[in-house]
Amino acid sequence: MTPAPHRRHCLAGLAAAALVRPVEAAPAGLYRRGNDADPGTLDPHRSSTVAEAHILRDLYEGLLTYDNHGRIVPGCAEAWTVSDDGLTYGFTLREAARWSNGDPVLAADFVFSLRRILDPALGAKYAEILAPIRNAVSVNAGHAAPDTIGVAAPAPRTLEITLERPTPYFLELLTHSTALPVHPGTVRRFGDAFTRPENGVSNGAYLLHESVPNDRVTLARNPHFHAAADVAIPRVAFLPTPDLASAVRRYAGGEIDSLADLPGDQMASLRARFGAQVVLGPSLGLYALALDTRRAPFDDVRVRRALSLVIDREFLAQRLWGETMDPAYSLCPPGLDHYRTPPDLAGRDALPIDREDEARALLDAAGFGPGRKPLAIEYRFNASDNNRNTAVAIAEMWRGIGVETRFTYTDAKTHFAYLRDGRPFGVARISWVADYSDPQNFLFLLQGGNDTLNPGHYANPDYDALMRDAAAETDLARRADLLFRAETIVVTDLPWIPVMHTRSKALISPRLTGYHANLRNAAPTRFLRLEA
């Protein structure tokens, strides 16, 4: 696909649009929530994107959940215990927990759901998250039956989960979409169609009212939710907003009440225009370039290192993204629980001219350079203003060492499906937002065999061995050392080139209260309020 001409949307154009368009009267009781992209699925066990997670967090409630400060709080489980050896977790479900059709939420529903997502016949993209559960890996690989996983319901409101080994972040895993329950009777009756509005049964604060592809997903308050009396917003419409400049215009025109992303190159102007409505916060995310290590020339580490060396991460993070990103010189962002300071990429402290010289030498050794065939790259990305601007800037940096770049871009759903399906590519924009604050949640992505989340099919036996040793290590300090050694391998091999670590950035209407920027970027609608 030929790239569209690069255009910088100036603030003056946005201001003019806002002046000529009258602000729309907000529909009573409807929260219009800008979302990163159109969801590819509303089946929590097939979900794999942040845009889907925002919706699923409103539709379903796991054993534990997040509040609007990003804190882990009780969900369907009102209490839990952990055995002295850290292997057995016991949960007591709320007596008032109900599905949206009035059925009680039972421990057996969680047993059904966890067996369902780990059944290889489902093809869940994210089943690896549940690997700490006893026998989960064997079941997901097809080596054991789903009913052999370490999950049991000894009583209607009692759930027991047994782990393979102590896992310090296990409770946080239970907030993830992979651990959400689905209604067994509805799934058995409708199969894949259980996610349609006319069939859907959910147990969260909201139920699915309408789903219009590429337009909106509308949820209505669930009257059977155990805390329904505290849910202030009757309806929420999730609106896909991949075109951020257009989304800002819609926000200014009163068509959207909040945006979950902003055009990075306009941050100074947006702050001047909207003031405190621009909310920046912490995040546990990575913006990277994946390389298809199955294919030449990206199977050559010299090529990968050369491409990494000349990326000016400070320019991208500070100038292009308006300081809403941090330069990334490691795969893991700083500040993770159970870790140490991550290892740095080579060349971080070198002068730009020295990095360029080293990159040219690496490409020359790999067979590319003046008088020979130039290195030609296809750069794939999901279309948004920020991603397009970043791609153009990186291509210009690579042009300085003789690299020719062409772009292929699609919507987010198509882009990530292409990568998950194992299709061939050259360089691809990839992102990851941590599901829990632990280095394992970044480093597991590049383990051999994790092909749905490791699209370049990187495999290094030494790396995999360190990750296995870390998984078996109960001493947190020794575990951190093992994970540090593993990350040192990947920042040397560079199957993914870290570019930036993310910060959350949002536009929040004055009529919306209860939003608090937080590390998990969690803002369940049930904790928010909307003024008329």
Strand-pairing partners, residue 281, are 504
- Residues 396-406, mean pLDDT to the nearest whole number: 97
Residues 223, 179 share a domain: no
310, part of any domain: yes
Residues 438, 308 share a domain: yes
Rounded to whole angstroms, the Cα distance separating 91 from 71 reads: 19
Rounded to whole angstroms, the Cα distance separating 60 from 256 reads: 24
Highest mean pLDDT among 6-20, 101-115, 405-419: 101-115
Q: How many domains does the chain contain in total?
A: 3
Three-class SS of residue 321?
coil
Tell me, what's the pLDDT at 474?
Answer: 81
Name the strand (E) or helix (H) holding 78.
strand 77-82
pLDDT band at 223 (very low <50, low <70, confident <90, very high): very high
Task: Give the number of other CB atoms < 10 A from CB of residue 230.
Answer: 10
Tell me, what's the pLDDT at 450?
Answer: 85
Strand-pairing partners, residue 377, are 405
3, part of any domain: no
**Residue from 407, 355, 349 nearest 381 by CA:** 407
pTM of the entire structure? 0.74
203, part of any domain: no
On whether the CB atoms of residues 193 and 179 are closer than 8 A, the answer is no
Angle value at C-alpha 14, between 8 and 18, nearest 5 degrees: 170
Tell me, what's the pLDDT at 8?
Answer: 29
pLDDT band at 253 (very low <50, low <70, confident <90, very high): very high
Three-class SS of residue 506?
strand
* Residue pLDDT, tens place only, 502-515: 988 999 999 999 99
For residue 330, what are the domain limits? Answer: 285-502
Q: Would you say the C-alpha torsion 14, 18, 24, 27 has a positive or negative sign?
A: positive
Q: Is the pLDDT of residue 312 over 80?
A: yes
* Residue pLDDT, tens place only, 185-200: 999 999 999 999 999 9
Q: Is the pLDDT of residue 376 over 60?
A: yes
Tell me, what's the pLDDT at 17?
Answer: 36
Which CATH number characterizes residue 66's domain? Answer: 3.90.76.10
387, part of any domain: yes
Residues 335, 233 share a domain: no
Q: Which of 192, 222, 252 is the last residue of a domain?
A: 192
Question: How far does CA 89 lie from the centroid of its chain?
Answer: 27
Rounded to whole angstroms, the Cα distance separating 50 from 260 reads: 10
- Residues 213-234, mean pLDDT to the nearest whole number: 97
Residues 449, 374 share a domain: yes
% of the chain exceeding 90 in pLDDT: 80
Rounded to whole angstroms, the Cα distance separating 131 from 140 reads: 9
183, part of any domain: yes
Residues 382, 479 share a domain: yes
Which one is predicted more confidently, 9 or 284? 284
Tokens of 494: 């560079």
